[in-house]
Amino acid sequence: MFKGSMTALVTPFRDGKVDEKAFAEFVDWQIVEGSHALIPCGTTGESPTLSHQEHDRVVEICIEVAKGRVPVIAGAGSNSTEEAVRLSLHAQKAGANALLVVAPYYNKPNAEGQYLHFKAIAEAVDLPIFIYNIPGRSVIDMSVATMARLAKLPNIVGVKDATADLARPLKTRLAIGPSFCQLSGEDATVTAFLAQGGHGCISVSANVAPRLCAELHNAWMAGDYAKVWELRDRLMPLHDAMFCETSPAPVKYAMSLLGRMLPDCRLPLAPLSDEGKGKVEAALKKVGLL
């Protein structure tokens, strides 16, 4: 089962193009620092503004650098089912271990449309698939009932839950069973999510503090709750700062302060404001990263 601290990787840019060298070095650093899995081309990776060629290449680099040391869960979602199938097939061919497929955004499909979308993808590939439920960005909120229906398909294995509804993981566990892998998409509530039956977190903050985030999950799995609470409290200012403005602008600025990449995002995401920069820098100092 997939578990622990999984980083929703940012995609570094330089001169308007993907900075492949910085990304490769970043992936290796994440593994050395202890991240349990890596997720290229999710929302944090600015997948909506990557070309298809760029998307494919970012997934390929992540897999090439990881060399099987940790699982790679490739972002492969789209509001076009045909496009999501293509991205999924490419990730499978490239050697990904699993797929993260976002609920279709903008189209607003009903429950049947959601089911048929994921069913088409599941039937096209052999990889394990995680449903990415993020109503704040996709508008729709997949119900537990629809998720339970999808979980009957053999390669729909789990969910990235970014609802921040802490009743949801328990309801999902009771409806589907403990083997359905539940990953939090909200850093600030991760320990509560784990206590409600979750298995890990696909994390934004882990871009900046991979070792601390991994240590929190290692402590949870070891039953060292005093360590968990210590790290939970220490990391909270970072979680807040990473969403002081639209993600991933804050996390990319944080990475630039650590000297790992430029802070550049692609339009329509604006550069971080001076106020936001102050919040991010203060948080990194408070957590002990600067």
Active-site hit among 3, 105, 132, 279: 132
Q: Shortest CA distance to 33 belongs to which of 11, 10, 7, 65? A: 7
CA separation for the pair 214, 222 (Å, rounded): 12
**How many CB atoms lie under 10 A from the CB of residue 41?**
27
- Token pair 């550069």 is at which residue? 271
Q: Any catalytic annotation for residue 132? A: yes
Is the CB of residue 209 less than 8 Å from the CB of residue 216?
A: no
Q: Shortest CA distance to 3 belongs to which of 247, 188, 193? A: 193
Is the CB of residue 87 less than 8 Å from the CB of residue 76?
A: yes
CA separation for the pair 23, 210 (Å, rounded): 15
Active-site hit among 3, 160, 277, 279: 160
Which string of b and e fits 85-114 if b means at least 16 CB within 10 Å?
bbbbebbbebbbbbbbbbbbbeeebeeeeb
Radius of gyration over every alpha carbon of the chain, rounded to an integer in angstroms: 18
Active site residues: 132, 160
